[in-house]
Amino acid sequence: MKKAILSAAMMTAIACTAVAEQTITIDGSTTVGPIAKAFAEYFMAARPDVNITVSESGSGNGAKSLMNGVCDVANLSRPMKSTEFKAAAGNDIQPVAHVVALDGLPILVHPQNPIQDLTIDQIRKIYTGEITNWKEVGGPNLGIVVITRDTNSGTYETFEGLVMSKQKITEKAEYVGSNGAIRQRVQTTPAAIGYAGLGFVDKTVKALKVNGVYPSAATVRTGEYAIARPLFMYTNGYPKLGSAVYQFVTLYLTEDGQEMVEEIGFIPVTSY
Amino acid sequence: MRLETRRLLDRAFSSLGLIAIGVMALALVVILTPIIVRGSGAFIFRSTIEHRKVMFDQWDRGNAGRLETAKAEVAAARQPVYDMLAAFNTELDAMPRADRKPYKQSLRDLEKALAGLLGPVPGERTPVLIRQQYGATRWDRTQIKLDDVLTTEEWDYSDPTALGKLVRTPRVEQFRGTKLEPLFPYVEQNIKAMMQPRWTCYWQFLFDTSKDSHIFGGIGPEVLGTIYLTLGAMFFAIPMGVIAAIYLCEYAREGRVISFLRICISTLAGVPSIVFGLFGLAFFLNTIHISDSKSVLAGALTLSLLVLPTVIRASEEAILAVPRAYKEAAMSLGAGRWRTVMTVILPAALPGILTGVVISMGRAAGETAPIIFTAAVSVGRPLLPLEALSQPTPALSWNIYNLCTEHEAVDEIRHVQYGMVFTLVAVVLLLNVFAIIMRARISKKLRG
């Protein structure tokens, strides 16, 4: 027993003498999460002396983490609000935005659902609870199960801003906590409707045309697809040139960064 | 009451008890079987050549010479596929423009499906994302990817008033009469030669870091993070809890204040864990800034608060259960209160205290809510003990939740998720077994 304790103590001592490494702490949006995780993997492979941790707790939490000074990079899937800027300034933190990708916010239904196309108006009415059955928009006779994100989510706020135009989402809507959860809920419920980031669309769910336009790189870039938005990473001030954080938040500008953003399913801001 | 009635009631009661135990056992089997069966699938599975490539490239594992021979064999088996694709491309180029068009999308889809099965085309540029650098690493995933290559799925919406129907057609239909037609039977028949499946025990799953957000590799950082958090929580909770219990039982004078304190402790035990999590965030991180970001330290402190009431109550019960005679004997020999507590009461109460401690360890290992805001992240490196003071870590409980709700490619990595669940259950189970053994040994020693 004593031996075990002694050896454990020695191990600890050895471990403690190892080199302290740089760290980058990333928090925030579950939509930007896949990009941040891929960037982190790529970055750490090139710079083994940097430890990057990524948490996906939602845009709201990301903004709070940044203004409380507990993260280096905050992922947001919406711009920071003026109240958040004020709170950050009060803590002597100056948020600087880096737009790392564009996203189309597709409206998702179960692939069994024959609906292919909805107008913004119809989507709004579905979410306000005015339309409650798929047959009212030309589908089968089936009650609509409305799935939406939690209010902490940037995706929710984008949706609220671009689709809901200040109308309240129906009380019957089901609130879930992440993009993955939206997809999971939609892929298991034939009558469901939901929305998530483009990177979360796979063949288990179907993205609808909105106002006759399918969300794709071209239609999002030109603004034809109506529900589109930039994805942000925020830092406290512009990071010191050459620092690890600087290299990390400018990764999206490189060719490899563009490929990663593209392959994950989002739309890069660069075009090499 | 007549004797017969009494007997009848007796029998009815005992059979009810049996049924209850039976239901519980059944529930345990229903819950544990899939965890064990599917969880062990993360460790023992039929791996393909792609798995061996990942192991060699990323972790320097495996015999280089043998891998090269296997790679050459596999490449030879795959070559006809790429030859057929090349032949089809030349065929396409020779076609008039209008004929070419319908094949374009089909070809792109086929190439994508093939890349999912076999990995990138040899000789072409290596993709940046690690997940695209390799084909299917497991035989079960290979079957699914093979099915993707061989069949296309489409939805039939001909009746707009009903739900669509899934129509599966062999992909070969799209390429009838072209040079690609023989590709499909070839892939189907030679899949074993192309993938070389063989049974593997990937025990390093427990220790490896994950590559490309859990798509490859193991759960090392998560296991280590769970251990840090649990031990850290215990490091704070045990001394505080035991000392508090000793004070409450031996030193404190019974009165209003003490009974109020007891009520507080009981209430604390009933507070939902997410409240502790938010408290930890608000107090340890945002108020006293115990670390610059989320950290294992903050998480461990939060968890220790969560288990503190359990430790106090268990220790109190254990101390109260020590026979009065022990204490009186010690006192009569002239030992002071402190000496009595340290040499007589604590050793006698140790088995009970240990049980409480280990039960709370199990709880600390499995709790998710307190660490969401204070310690847990989705991806990160394994930490050295000193780094745990200032850095956050992945942890099993949180990452299980994270994988199943937030991961962008969760369907590809169900085995990792089950592997984590299996490991967490095994850790908690082992802790409990350890407690039982310790307890038995200590009581035996005490009895002499």
* pLDDT one-digit tens code per residue, A190-217: 999 999 988 888 888 999 999 999 998 8
Sequence-distant (6+) residues with CB within 8 A of B131 are B212, B215, B216, B409
Number of Cβ atoms within 10 Å of the Cβ of B329: 13
* Predicted local confidence at residue B448, as pLDDT: 62
pTM: 0.87
* Whether A221 contacts A267, CB under 8 Å: yes
- A positions 120-179 inside 8 Å of B (CB): 135, 138-142, 177-179
| Shared-domain flag, residues B193 and B248 | no
Pairing mode, if any, of strands A73-76 and A22-28?
parallel
Judge whether A271 lies within some domain: no
Q: Which residues of A134-161 are buried (b: 16+ CB within 10 A; e: fewer)?
A: beebebbebebbbbbbeebbbbbbbbbe
Region A31-36: what's the mean pLDDT?
92
Write out pLDDT tens, residues B266-314. 999 889 999 999 999 999 988 888 888 889 999 999 999 999 999 999 9
Handedness of CA B212, A60, A147, A118 (dihedral sign): negative
| Shared-domain flag, residues A81 and A15 | yes
| Shared-domain flag, residues B255 and B356 | yes
* Whether B157 contacts B59, CB under 8 Å: no
Q: Please tell me which residue of chain B has the smallest CA distance to A66.
A: B293
pLDDT at residue A3 greater than cutoff 60: no
pLDDT at residue A179 greater than cutoff 50: yes
* Predicted local confidence at residue A4, as pLDDT: 52
A15, A65, A180 member nearest B405 (Cβ): A180
| Shared-domain flag, residues B264 and B367 | yes
The residue written with tokens 């709201």 in the block is A60
Decide if B212 touches A, using CB distance below 8 A: yes
pLDDT at residue A26 greater than cutoff 70: yes
Judge whether B35 lies within some domain: no
| Shared-domain flag, residues B177 and B233 | no
Sequence-distant (6+) residues with CB within 8 A of B11 are none
| Shared-domain flag, residues B185 and B74 | yes
Write out pLDDT tens, residues B116-168. 899 898 888 888 888 889 999 999 999 999 999 999 988 888 877 788 888 88
Is A127 exposed, middle or buried (CB count within 10 Å of its CB: 0-12, 13-18, 19+)? buried
| Shared-domain flag, residues B233 and B168 | no
DSSP string, A148-205: EE-TT-HHHHHHIIIIITTPPPPTTPEEESSHHHHHHHHHH-TTEEEE--GGG--TTS
Q: Which residues of B122-143 are buried (b: 16+ CB within 10 A; e: fewer)?
A: eeeeebbbbbbbbbbbbbebbe
The CATH number linked to B303 is: 1.10.3720.10
Domain range for A182? 107-221
| Shared-domain flag, residues A114 and A214 | yes
Judge whether B23 lies within some domain: no
Write out pLDDT tens, residues B90-111. 888 888 888 888 888 888 889 9
Of the candidates A142, A140, A115, the one whose C-alpha atom is nearest the C-alpha of residue B155 is A115
Judge whether B10 lies within some domain: no
Judge whether A226 lies within some domain: no
In one-letter notation, the amino acid at residue B143 is Q
Which of A203, A221, A239 is at the close of a domain? Answer: A221
Measured CA to CA in angstroms, residue B140 lies from A184, B70, B153, B215 at distances of: 21, 20, 19, 15
Region B412-437: what's the mean pLDDT?
89
* Predicted local confidence at residue A1, as pLDDT: 45
Judge whether B256 lies within some domain: yes
* Predicted local confidence at residue A10, as pLDDT: 47
B376, B378, B391 member nearest A33 (Cβ): B378
Specify the long-range contacts of residues A251-254, CB closer than 8 Å, at least 24 apart: A251/A39, A251/A42, A251/A43, A252/A35, A252/A39, A252/A98, A252/A100, A252/A101
In one-letter notation, the amino acid at residue B354 is L
Question: Are residues B392 and A15, on separate chains, in Cβ contact within 8 Å?
Answer: no
Percent over 70 (pLDDT), chain B: 100
B128, B213, B377 member nearest A53 (Cβ): B377
Chain A residues in contact with B391 (beta carbon < 8 A)? 23, 25, 51, 53
Judge whether A40 lies within some domain: yes
| Shared-domain flag, residues A111 and A97 | no
Judge whether B99 lies within some domain: yes
Kindly state the tokens that stand for B309: 């009431």
Judge whether A188 lies within some domain: yes
* Predicted local confidence at residue A18, as pLDDT: 45
* Predicted local confidence at residue A19, as pLDDT: 47
* Predicted local confidence at residue A7, as pLDDT: 54
Question: Are residues B405 and A181, on separate chains, in Cβ contact within 8 Å?
Answer: yes
Determine the Cα–Cα distance for residues A23 and A54; give it in Å rounded to an integer.
Answer: 11
A71, A138, A204 member nearest B160 (Cβ): A138
Sequence-distant (6+) residues with CB within 8 A of B63 are none
The residue written with tokens 């006293």 in the block is B288
Q: Please tell me which residue of chain B has the smallest CA distance to A17.
A: B386
Write out pLDDT tens, residues B241-265. 999 999 998 888 888 888 899 899 9
Q: How confident is residue B173, by pLDDT bands cut at 50, 70 and 90? A: confident
Determine the Cα–Cα distance for residues B394 and B296; give it in Å rounded to an integer.
Answer: 9
- A positions 243-262 inside 8 Å of B (CB): 256, 259-260
Judge whether A58 lies within some domain: yes
| Shared-domain flag, residues A163 and A97 | no
| Shared-domain flag, residues A114 and A211 | yes
Q: Please tell me which residue of chain A has the smallest CA distance to B289.
A: A70
H or E element: which one contains A246? helix A244-249
| Shared-domain flag, residues A65 and A90 | yes
Question: Are residues B128 and A114, on separate chains, in Cβ contact within 8 Å?
Answer: no
Chain B residues in contact with A93 (beta carbon < 8 A)? none
Write out pLDDT tens, residues A83-111. 999 999 998 999 999 999 999 899 999 99
| Shared-domain flag, residues B176 and B236 | no
Question: Are residues A33 and B373, on separate chains, in Cβ contact within 8 Å?
Answer: no
Residue B264 is classified by DSSP as H
Instruction: Name the more confident of A254 and B435.
Output: A254
Q: Comparing B122-126, B202-206, B321-325, B359-363, which segment has the lowest mean pLDDT?
A: B122-126
- A positions 96-125 inside 8 Å of B (CB): 111-114, 116
| Shared-domain flag, residues B171 and B284 | no
Which of B172, B200, B228 is at the close of a domain? Answer: B200
Determine the Cα–Cα distance for residues B284 and B298; give it in Å rounded to an integer.
Answer: 6
pLDDT at residue A113 greater than cutoff 80: yes
* Predicted local confidence at residue B404, as pLDDT: 84
* Predicted local confidence at residue B161, as pLDDT: 78
Question: Are residues A55 and B376, on separate chains, in Cβ contact within 8 Å?
Answer: yes
Decide if A85 touches B, using CB distance below 8 A: no
Judge whether A251 lies within some domain: yes
Of the candidates A103, A51, A119, the one whose C-alpha atom is nearest the C-alpha of residue A231 is A103
A42, A51, A204 member nearest B381 (Cβ): A51
Which of A221, A240, A255 is at the close of a domain? Answer: A221
| Shared-domain flag, residues A145 and A195 | yes
| Shared-domain flag, residues A243 and A196 | no
The CATH number linked to A59 is: 3.40.190.10
Q: Please tell me which residue of chain A has the smallest CA distance to B58.
A: A45
Judge whether B346 lies within some domain: yes
Is B17 exposed, middle or buried (CB count within 10 Å of its CB: 0-12, 13-18, 19+)? exposed
Region B339-352: what's the mean pLDDT?
89
Q: Please tell me which residue of chain B has the smallest CA distance to A27.
A: B377
Region A251-265: what's the mean pLDDT?
91
| Shared-domain flag, residues A80 and A158 | no
Domain range for B310? 220-447
pLDDT at residue B227 greater than cutoff 50: yes
| Shared-domain flag, residues B117 and B164 | yes
Q: Please tell me which residue of chain B has the smallest CA distance to A48.
A: B381
Region A34-59: what's the mean pLDDT?
90
pLDDT at residue A71 greater than cutoff 50: yes
Region A36-41: what's the mean pLDDT?
92
Q: How confident is the prediction for chain B on average, in pLDDT?
A: 89
Indicate the number of domains in chain B: 2
Question: Are residues A141 and B285, on separate chains, in Cβ contact within 8 Å?
Answer: no
| Shared-domain flag, residues A164 and A182 | yes
Chain A residues in contact with B411 (beta carbon < 8 A)? 202, 204
Write down the ipTM of this complex. 0.83
| Shared-domain flag, residues B376 and B301 | yes
Question: Are residues B406 and A18, on separate chains, in Cβ contact within 8 Å?
Answer: no
Minimum distance, in Å, between the CA of residue B154 and any CA atom of chain A: 9
| Shared-domain flag, residues B234 and B193 | no
| Shared-domain flag, residues A168 and A211 | yes
Judge whether B33 lies within some domain: no
Determine the Cα–Cα distance for residues B310 and B266; give it in Å rounded to an integer.
Answer: 9
| Shared-domain flag, residues A98 and A114 | no
In one-letter notation, the amino acid at residue A18 is A
Determine the Cα–Cα distance for residues B85 and B107; give it in Å rounded to an integer.
Answer: 9
Write out pLDDT tens, residues B23-46. 999 999 999 999 999 999 999 999
| Shared-domain flag, residues B280 and B405 | yes
Indicate the number of domains in chain A: 2
Kindly state the tokens that stand for A79: 């711009």
Determine the Cα–Cα distance for residues B359 and B298; give it in Å rounded to an integer.
Answer: 21
Judge whether A211 lies within some domain: yes
Kindly state the tokens that stand for B52: 């061996």
Question: Are residues B127 and A52, on separate chains, in Cβ contact within 8 Å?
Answer: no
**What is the C-alpha end-to-end distance of chain A, expressed in Å?**
62
Judge whether B105 lies within some domain: yes
Judge whether A269 lies within some domain: no
pLDDT at residue A12 greater than cutoff 70: no
